[in-house]
Amino acid sequence: MIKRLLSYFFVFFAFNTIAQNVKPILVIHGGAGTISKANLTPEQEKEYHFVLNQALEAGMKILQNGGTSLNAVEASIKIMEDSPLFNAGKGSVFTSEGKNEMDAAIMDGKTLKAGSVAGVTTIKNPISCAKTIMQKSEHVMLIGKGAESFAKEQGLELVDPSYFYTDERYKQLKKAKEIEEKNKKGSGKIDVWKDYKFGTVGAVALDKYGNLAAGTSTGGMTNKKFNRVGDAPIIGAGTYANNKSCAVSGTGWGEFFIRTVVGHDISALVEYKNYSVKKAGEVVIKKVSDLGGDGGVIILDSKGNFSMPFNTEGMYRGYIKANGESKTFIYK
């Protein structure tokens, strides 16, 4: 009996020692595209850095207080969803019909549980809905009115669709329609206009328990049609996490990220071929490039190694470590 108790104590002590040795880290992105100094004023640069730092600090506060990577990811993304600077939540772009339709997903690297939401118009923070789906429903993905009914039942904050309106995004829609008309495209195809600030937001985190999580939230593509859904809410494409490999959140041209299954492909290279997160990210982003797509990813493994590869001129991104070291970036 004494031997058994001692063995239990040893296992408990060893587990907690290992947990305490894990240094939490959080990495975020706010979208990739043709982001150059010519496109942003110094004042705009400061605004982006400010909100990115707010998101990093919100997530790290949770991690430093013993919170989970899932809660840290949610907190960071909510900061960016609430800012009109990014194409998620408040700053979501407009569909061809003049609506804001949002998608989001979150995944737990420990259990491989995931939650996802797509095409919602009244949920203030889609990432919170995705997390609630993961935790309180037997499903992974809910869409449209059904997702909004679920959110209401769960007591999540709902808003009038007008909450998501911003002048800047509406101007982008008008410009996209002008280009569409000029090019005389259409006939069933999605007419792609790159506003070059895709703005999808995401976060990956490692907590002191050694668990990874990933989350992504987006308003999709300007002037999208037919209830188009991109890669962000698709587990294995724009969002993926597995403690055995890494956590991934993507941003860019969703159709290409779906076709190349970006998140899972990176994870598989790390798990099965022992690639570093840097090498795995570069290999997979090259696949996207070779098909004609663009964008970037943030990747974090269970040892705290991270990478932020992209094939565009810039990507809003940043990281913060448990020792307080943090940095945000915009350009290459």
Nearest to 190 by CA among 219, 226, 232, 238: 226
**DSSP for 242-266, written as a single string:** -TTSEEEEEEE-HHHHHHTTHHHHH
Q: Catalytic: which of 95, 200, 216, 239?
A: 200
Distance CA 154, CA 149 (A): 9
Say whether domain 24-331 belongs to CATH 3.40.50.450: no
For the question of residue 95 being annotated catalytic, the response is no
Distance CA 275, CA 21 (A): 24
In degrees and rounded to multiples of 5, residue 299 shows phi and psi of -135, 140
Distances (CA, A) of 104 to 71, 141, 160, 218, 252: 15, 10, 19, 6, 14
- Category of 324 on φ-ψ map: left (φ > 0), alpha (ψ -120 to 50) or beta: left
The tens-digit pLDDT sequence of the chain (332 residues) is 555 544 544 444 444 444 557 999 999 999 998 788 888 999 999 999 999 999 999 999 999 999 999 999 999 999 999 999 999 999 999 999 999 999 999 999 999 999 999 999 999 999 999 999 999 999 999 999 999 999 999 999 999 999 999 999 999 999 999 988 888 655 455 545 555 446 799 999 999 999 999 999 999 999 999 999 999 999 999 999 999 999 999 999 999 999 999 999 999 999 999 999 999 999 999 999 999 999 999 999 999 999 999 999 999 999 999 999 999 999 98
Distance CA 275, CA 35 (A): 29
- For the CA atoms of 34, 74, 205, 324, what is the dihedral angle to 10 degrees? 90
What's residue 196's pLDDT? 42
Given CA atoms 305, 56, 63, 131 in this order, what sign does their dihedral have?
A: negative
Q: Is the pTM of this model over 0.75?
A: yes
Question: In this structure, are residues 130 and 105 in contact, taking their beta carbons and an 8 Å threshold?
Answer: yes
Distance CA 168, CA 172 (A): 6
Residues in the chain, overall count: 332
Distance CA 248, CA 280 (A): 11
* Sheet of strand 295-301, all strands in order from the earlier edge strand to the far edge: 239-241, 246-252, 295-301, 306-307
In degrees and rounded to multiples of 5, residue 194 shows phi and psi of -90, 110
Q: Which residues contact 313 (CB under 8 A, 6 or more apart)?
A: 33, 34, 35, 36, 331, 332
Which amino acid makes up residue 126? P
Residue with the two structure tokens 């009244």: 122
Six token digits for residue 292: 């004609």
